[in-house]
Amino acid sequence: MEMRSGKKTTFPAVKLCLALLFLLGAAMVFAGHKGKTLYSGAAAGAEGSLSAAYELSRDADKVLDQGIRPALDRLTDEERSAVSYMVSGTLTETLRNNEDAVRVPDTLKEMKMLFIRWQFTGPKLNATERKKITGLGEKEAEELRVELLRCIADETRELPAAARSRAGKLSGTERQTSCGTCVPELPDHVTQMKKSVRGKEQQEQAFRMIAAGEERGFSRFIAGRGNTVILLGVLFMLDAVMMAFMMAAGRQWAFEFKWVLILLIIDFLLVFEMLPLFHIVLRALFPEGTFSLSTLRRLGSYSLNLEAVKNTVIVSLATMVAGTVIAFPLAFLIGRTDLYGRKFFRSLFVITYMVPPYVGAMAWLRLMNPNVGEINLWLRRIFSLGGGPGPLNVYSLPGMIWVMTSFYFPYASLSRAMEKMDPTLEDASRISGASPLETVFRIDLPLMLPSLLAGALLVFVSAASCYGIPSIIGKPGNVSTVTTRIVEYTALGQQGLRDATALSVFLMATALLLLLLSDVVLAKRQYITVSGKSVTPTLVRLRSFRVPFTILVSLFAVVVIALPFATILLTSFKTDVGKSVLAAGNFTTANWSSVFARNETLHCLKNSLTYALVAASVGILISVVMNYLQQRTRLCGRSVPAF
């Protein structure tokens, strides 16, 4: 459909499609809610429980149809009737507190229910017995099942050898149940069901549902995916409404594929960015389903939490200030001066991007441990400080600040931005008689201020949300942060998870405040750069300071990069980490051989590379499409994803 720009035209077909999309979303929300409530007792609020039930039911049907049914057919009518009677009585006795669960009309389904229940509550076959049973031939296995069924009908009958250790000491209904279920377990689905359906009543409801074969058709597809169906329905409804508003605002009732891209990006960000944040807020403010600030007040009453918040703010602010103070002059020297090896230094300082912070924390533990740290040992020998601890202590607030600064200062680096800066204003400053230093403070610094502040805020958020360094350095020194407290709470059960969620609101609120500062406060100030034809600023000649500054930058690189990474590397080749790698018999490659000989190491390496590649690819793809739509189109709503 084509239309002229600016001409307001209404296409009923477009409106009809939007209405149908909205109704489809509403129908999915209704269906998802219906599916969730259909077996709410069994699902216990966990979407994965019914999915596990489907798989468990399917595998149980396979075992019973291929194993127990042929064995039943081989029994006489009298034996089959006795088995049916005993199984029904056993089921009634086992589930006497749940009358609905007893109403299973078929003998095989009753046995299926007992079989499923025994997977949860009965003793398990040991490895030797399981191997014996699974190793039986088809004929021998059928004979075993027939004999077990006869033992159900007659409790005085001697059990087969394969069932004695599992049911030999049991009697009554427990013996009958175990005899009917002496088959290999279904551990994977049982484990998932145990995690998903925890309550006894909910488990009994799940047993009834599985045994009665109610997990079919609609419930099989919808009930096990209720939350997902509801979420998709809500997204369809939002998409229909947003597209209608965008078309109405643009006075363009015509379908364009670019709108689909915008809506897909918005949906992606809503699900994977906004939904988790809303979940955190709701869990914190509605801990028991109703609005309450009790959790936040209780957490705020603990001195350790207040101390953690204070430490987080101090560490983050100090890291931000120190990182910015280091990054700006370093970026200027590398990007705007004739420093020796400036291209090499630019590449060298990027290394800290590539290494997880906790790796650096481990290195600094080896260097600044108050007792046996290499730097402390050197300082004691040089200054004759004796054999006491210190003088440096990495297990402290200053130690944590230093380690974080050494890893996060590149986040505030502006060397590339300085290299691309328009030189016109600098030339005008020099022509006006300003010295190079005056030009830096009066021209370069104001022009770089927005980027500098953005980098500083990124350093603050990164330091506040860091867990690796505080867990390795802070915890031994009793320096808690919000992230370490959150992880500690997660190990305390359901209440601990609620407290961890509430405490994480602090980090989210901090990030949002900084976003407000960056987007609102700084946006009120105008930063205008006059563009000229030249895109290569003139390098500042350091003259007599060229060698001293090169030595200074080199020393800094040695301290923050070469020293910690060399320590980690050399430690990996040591037999005794407390001795020098050059000591007799202390050099070994066994550590490397041992690590890479393990399958789990290669598996973890593959996972890390795969996840990193996928995350980077998806992030770049979304960013490129989002920026293209915002900068190269005039569609209404193109700025929504960026917001």
Helix (H, G, I), strand (E, B) or coil at 520: helix
Per the document, the length of the chain is: 643
Structure tokens at 288: 């028991």
pLDDT confidence of residue 1: 38
pLDDT reported for residue 99 = 46
pLDDT of residue 402: 93
Mean per-residue pLDDT, 585-596? 86
pLDDT in tens, 364-409: 988 898 888 888 888 888 888 877 787 889 999 999 999 999 888 8
pLDDT score for 549: 94
Q: Which residue in 315, 406, 307, 397 sits closest to 364, CA to CA? A: 406
**CA 248/CA 240 separation, integer angstroms:** 12
Q: Which residue has the tokens 């279904």?
A: 186
Contacts of 608 by beta carbon, 8 Å cutoff, 6+ apart: none
Q: Tell me, what's the pLDDT at 415?
A: 61
Mean pLDDT of the chain: 77
Alpha-carbon dihedral sign for residues 602, 606, 607, 608: positive
Token readout for 601 is: 């190491």
Q: Is 475 exposed, middle or buried (0-12, 13-18, 19+ CB in 10 A)?
A: middle
Quickly list DSSP for 129-193: HHHHHHTS-HHHHHHHHHHHHHHHH-TTSPPPHHHHHHHTT--HHHHHHHHHT-S---HHHHHHH
Distance, CA of 105 to CA of 113 (rounded, Å): 12
Confidence band for 45, pLDDT divided at 50, 70 and 90: very low
In this predicted structure, what is the pLDDT of residue 197?
60
Exposed e or buried b per residue across 54-93, where buried means at least 16 C-beta atoms within 10 angstroms of its C-beta: bbbbeebbebbeebbeebbeebeeebbebbbebbeebbee
Whether the pLDDT of residue 5 is over 50: the answer is no
Q: How confident is the model at residue 555 (pLDDT cuts 50, 70, 90)?
A: very high
- Among 335-349, 415-429, 607-621, top mean pLDDT goes to 607-621
Band of pLDDT at residue 4, cut at 50, 70 and 90 = very low
- Range of lowest pLDDT (49-63, 147-161, 288-302, 514-528): 514-528
**CA-closest candidate to residue 389, choices 377, 402, 403, 401:** 377
Q: What is the C-alpha separation between 181 and 175, in angstroms, rounded?
A: 10
Decide if 502 contacts 486 (C-beta within 8 A).
Answer: no
- When pLDDT is averaged across residues 522-526 and rounded to a whole number, the result is 56
Q: How far apart are CA 235 and CA 263, in angstroms?
A: 9
Among the listed ranges 73-82, 151-160, 206-215, which one has the minimum average pLDDT value? 206-215
% residues pLDDT > 90 (the chain): 14
CA distance 520 to 214: 56
Distance (Å) of CA 309 to CA 94, 305, 480, 515: 53, 6, 8, 19
Q: Which two tokens stand for residue 48?
A: 């994965």
Q: What are phi and psi of 252, to 5 degrees?
A: -140, 85
Q: Is the pLDDT of residue 15 over 80?
A: yes
What pLDDT does residue 160 have?
73
Q: What is the pLDDT of residue 40?
A: 54
- Count of beta carbons in the 10 Å neighbourhood of residue 525: 8
Which amino acid is present at 440? V
Q: Residue 178: which of 105, 104, 102, 125 has the closest Cα?
A: 125
**Backbone φ, ψ for residue 234 (5° rounding):** -65, -40
Task: Give 574's strand partners.
Answer: 587
Written as six digits, the tokens of 233 are: 């329905």
Tell me, what's the pLDDT at 123?
A: 58
Rounded to the nearest angstrom, the gap between the alpha carbon of residue 407 and the centroid of all alpha carbons in its chain is: 22
Q: Nearest CA to 372 among 395, 349, 348? A: 395
